[in-house]
Structures are given as C-alpha cells and as structure tokens.
Amino acid sequence: MNISELKGNEKIKEALCGMASETFPHAAIIEGEKGSGKHQLAQFIASAIVCKVDNSPCGICTDCKKSNQGLHPDISLLGEEQELRVDNAREVRRDAYIRPNEAKRKVYIIANADKMNVNTQNAMLKILEEPPETVVFLLLCESKESLLPTVLSRCSVFSLLPPLGDNISEDPHMEEFIHTLCVSTDYEILTQCVSLESLKREQFSDFLFLLSKTARDAIVLQTNGINSSKAAQELADHYSSEKISRIYIMAQEALDQIQYNASNAAIIAGLILKSNSLRI
C-alpha cells in the first residue's frame, strides 16, 4: 500500500514519512473509529519495517509482497477474531525474544487492543516496558481511553480521524443556516434562529446534530485540509477554529437540552444569546 491511499490524516502521514523504519518507536497505539483506516496504517508501517529498500515500503520487493498478502513471517496479526487474553499475551512475550526470521525487526499488530482486560494489559505491559530492540508493537483501538495509563505511557499515539471526503452529505437547509451565520446581520440571524421553532422535535434534534457535525468537519478541514461539505467549507473560511468550537459546543449543549425536554423556544433563545458571542 502507498501511504497516499490513506485518506486524510495529513499530519500523521507527514510524521510517518519522516520516520526511518529502524527508529520507529517500539510501541505505538493507532486509535480511530471504524473505517478510519487503522488496519491500512498498521499494514503500511509493518511493510515499511520489514522492507529493506530505501524509502520503504517500496511495495514491489518480496518483503512488501509477503506483507501485503499477510504472509510475512515477521509480521503477526493478533486479536482480530477474538481479543487477546492473558495466555496469548504471555505467548507474545515469549515469541518477542526470538529473533526475526527475515527482517531486522518483527511487528506484532494487535487488533481490538481496547478490548484486552486489565490482566492481559498488565501481561503486555511487561514486554512493553523492556522490549527487545527487534520488535515493534502496533496496538489498534477505537479509543485509547480503555487502555491502562501505564500502557499508554509506553506507546506513541497516532489518532486517526475518519475520512470525511467519502461521505460528504450536502444539506441545503444547513448551508443556508451557516451562510446566514457567516454573512448576515444580527437581525437576519435572529430571524433564522426563530424559524427553527416550527421544526418538530426530531427534526430539530437532527438539525442540531448536523450543526455540530458541520462545526466539527470545519475544524478538521482547517487542521487537515480535507474536502468537506459546502457548509463546513464556508464556516471554516469565515470563522477561527476557536469560534467554530463555540458553535460545536452550542449545538452539543442544545442537544443535551433536548434530552431534558426543554422547549424549542427555550433552546433557540439560548442559541441566539450564544451566537452573539461569535461576533466578538
């Protein structure tokens, strides 16, 4: 695989391209939601480590081919079908001290690392604390929060953002709302907010969810330059990330209020008050 096939996440790709395979940290956590490309990234790093060509992975040598086919003897993929248990972790520890077969370093890709229980994590910790120089562990998880702080402290963390470019959904109503928020007078913003009152509860909740998603996408767009919806694009062009964060929080708080059965009118009054702070 070529790193450019991994969508988005420009900063991580930049960091990896500047990292020689010999100096890649002995343990890394790759964190990201389903579909964010964790396995692709782990596969790329593993190939880079076993490939002996400069600017690895070259993608065409025997090592790269074996790696891409899942057949390289120095790359182990564990925990995919079932999460790693204590006895598996002990087995990994024993195996890690055996020298690599063909490459300079062995790679253990541990899928679902956040599903490992405390005992298993502690068993892994023993090898993460003092690993042989010839091994690299890649711990894949949806959220690093489920890992013990002691495990976290031994690992570099790569947090992947989901690819936004693939599922851009344009929403004319949101586009109009964001456009008003960006270029209109206070009175027009007020009128726009008041018009939300006629929405049914579920529609209002969907609207707020989309508003928070649009704000989040706009921040990601500013940071990573990933293609996004028109509404997110306009927001990113018009406001600083700090102000977009306020919009995100505003939408999230309004969603919380919906859970507590606050009326549309009360929520909208809050939105109007808070939207004033965007002008400052």
Q: How far is the CB of 102 from Zn ion (least distance, A)?
A: 12
Q: Minimum Å distance from CB 40 to Zn ion? A: 17
Of 66 and 213, CB closest to Zn ion: 66
Q: Which is nearer to Zn ion, 45 or 113 (CB)?
A: 45
CB of 74 to Zn ion, least distance (A): 13
Minimum distance of Zn ion from residue 73's CB (angstroms): 15
We find the least distance from the C-beta atom of residue 59 to Zn ion, in angstroms, to be 6
Closer to Zn ion at the Cβ: 68 or 245? Answer: 68
Q: Using CB atoms, what's the residue nearest to Zn ion?
A: 51
Annotate the chain with three-state secondary structure. CCHHHCCCCHHHHHHHHCCCHHHCCCEEEEECCCCCCHHHHHHHHHHHHHCCCCCCCCCCCHHHHHHHCCCCCCEEEECCCCCCCHHHHHHHHHHHCCCCCCCCCEEEEECCHHHCCHHHHHHHHHHHHCCCCCEEEEEEECCHHHCCHHHHCCCEEEECCCCCHHHCCCCHHHHHHHHHHHHCCHHHHHHHHHHHHHCCHHHHHHHHHHHHHHHHHHHHHHHHCCCCCHHHHHHHHHCCHHHHHHHHHHHHHHHHHHHCCCCHHHHHHHHHHHHHHHHC
Cα distance between residue 61 and residue 67, in whole Å:
10
Task: Write down the least CB distance from residue 42 to Zn ion, Å.
Answer: 16
Cα–Cα distance, 72 to 211 (Å, whole number) = 46
Q: Report, in Å, the least distance between residue 95 CB and Zn ion.
A: 24
Taking alpha carbons only, the member of 155, 135, 114, 116 closest to residue 46 is: 135
**Contact residues: Zn ion, CB under 5 A:** 51, 53, 57-58, 61, 64
